[in-house]
Chain A
Amino acid sequence: MSTLKQAQKRAAKAPAARPAPSAGKPNTLMSYRPPDRGTQPDLLFPPYASTVKRAPSQALVRLPSTLSEVTGPLFGYDRIHANDYDLTAQHNGDPIGERIIVSGRVLDANGRPVPHTLVEIWQANAAGRYPHPRDQHDAPTDPNFTGCGRTLTDSEGRYRFVTIRPGEYPWRNHYNAWRPAHIHFSLFGPAFQTRLVTQMYFPGDPLLEYDPMYLSIPTERARKRLISTFDWETTIPEMALGYRFDVVLRGREETPMENDMRHLLKGL
């Protein structure tokens, strides 16, 4: 597929140098490095039909990192309620489906935890149905399941949700199109530049190799990063299977020296 080539071309177009942060002001206006080459989908990916009329046709304009980009909204515990992390406890009864624990860490590309950051999730019910007016799939809704959760990471970047395993569902992208089971994730991180919306998939899902959204990610390594792993340690006996899913947000540029090295390496 030419996607990989397109992605490489895009990465090659990235600017070679940016102003070094002024000495003696550690962290000040040090930008967040662009995502690594091959990790992000192109905006235009025709196998996902809706991109064709929605993707911009003009090249993106490079935005310098200013205070506007290295700051961003921060959210506190005042907005989070007790059952927001537990999607099985938001109604009077238990939702139908297999209970699962989804947990992991939010890290930056330098390997450091991203503490106290908002994580929002949404997903279909066990039958593959969303309680949404646009969802016309002929599968039952569940009065005990909305499929919406949120939490803040702890000081080590950890988060944890209790939910049920979402069902696969059909969509109209192409003949006989089915989305693999997935949970939508929305994260903010510390800055405007670290915003990320992604999806978590499940190991061994046979639909992944047919899914244009999953396949829009250029490299296999980056695709695999979106597949959660079964986790025996967070599995609770007689209660729920554990799945582990770590999310990596953009990391800050390091020292100007490392910066230069990185650009040199990219040129190789």
Chain B
Amino acid sequence: MSLETSASQTVGPYLHIGLTWLVTENLVAPGVDGQPITISGVVTDGDGAVVPDALVEIWQANTHGRYAHPEDTRDLPLEAAFKGFGRSPTDKDGRFRFTTVKPGRVPGPDGTLQAPHINVTIFMRGMLRHLVSRIYFPDDPANAKDPVLSSVPAARRGTLVATRTPSKPHALTWNVRLQGDGETVFFDT
């Protein structure tokens, strides 16, 4: 039997009513392995105006590179206290924020390993389908051979890599530009 997939519709302006209960900005519980880091950023539109009514969700492996999901059956440590899911609504300044750990590497196509990355979905009023993107980590030597980064035109790759604040080594910034100059790379998955 084959059914047609249901259509996506926007979350609209009142998303907070239904989605706030599961807001998860800190993914790191006590005892979780890995150095806690923060990742935050601002979502801006085609005019450069901040987007105060977006919702950013993330999905990632733990520091050992293991996803908390039954289809990740690799023999790597699974931590009960690290679920790998985050949800952050943007504030009046268009900013979302997470505290998490840098994920380990996970397999890519054809037996390759992917560079550490966080999977991102973005929802907002004016977005009829959610956007999909990825956050990579600055200065990671694995970025150079990552199969997904390599598939992105070189001039746009940088939009997928977070930046480090020199004075705060564990604070990363990853901004989202929806449209126009420096437009973030979004994926069709």
Contacts and interface: CB of A to CB of B under 8 A. Distances in A.
Interface string A130-171: 111011000000000011111000000000000000000000
Contact of A50 (B17, B22, B57, B126): B126
A67 B5 contact: no
Interface string B99-117: 0000000111110001001
B152 interface: yes
19 contacts: A19-B110, A36-B4, A40-B7, A51-B128, A53-B45, A53-B46, A54-B46, A55-B126, A57-B46, A68-B106, A71-B67, A73-B68, A132-B14, A146-B17, A148-B21, A186-B19, A195-B130, A226-B6, A249-B6
Contacts of B18: 120-122, 147-150, 184, 186
Contact of A192 (B1, B125, B186, B189): B189
Nearest to A50: B126
A24 interface: no
Interface string B21-38: 110000000000000000
Interface in B124-175: 124-132, 147-148, 151-152, 156
Contacts, number: 234
Interface of A: 19, 27-28, 34-36, 39-43, 45, 48-58, 60-75, 79, 107-111, 120-122, 124, 130-132, 134-135, 146-150, 184, 186, 192-193, 195-199, 213-214, 216-217, 221-223, 225-226, 247-251
B111 to A, nearest CB: 10
A109 B1 CA distance: 8
Contact of B178 (A40, A41, A54, A223): A54
Contacts of A65: 189
Given A54-B45, A110-B3, A217-B9, 14 more contacts: A28-B71, A48-B128, A54-B127, A57-B46, A66-B109, A68-B106, A69-B119, A69-B189, A122-B15, A122-B18, A132-B17, A184-B12, A184-B18, A221-B4
A52 B10 CA distance: 14
Given A54-B51, A71-B72, A73-B59, A40 B129 contact: yes
A225 B6 CA distance: 7
Given A62-B187, A111-B2, A198-B7, A51 B179 contact: no
B75 interface: no
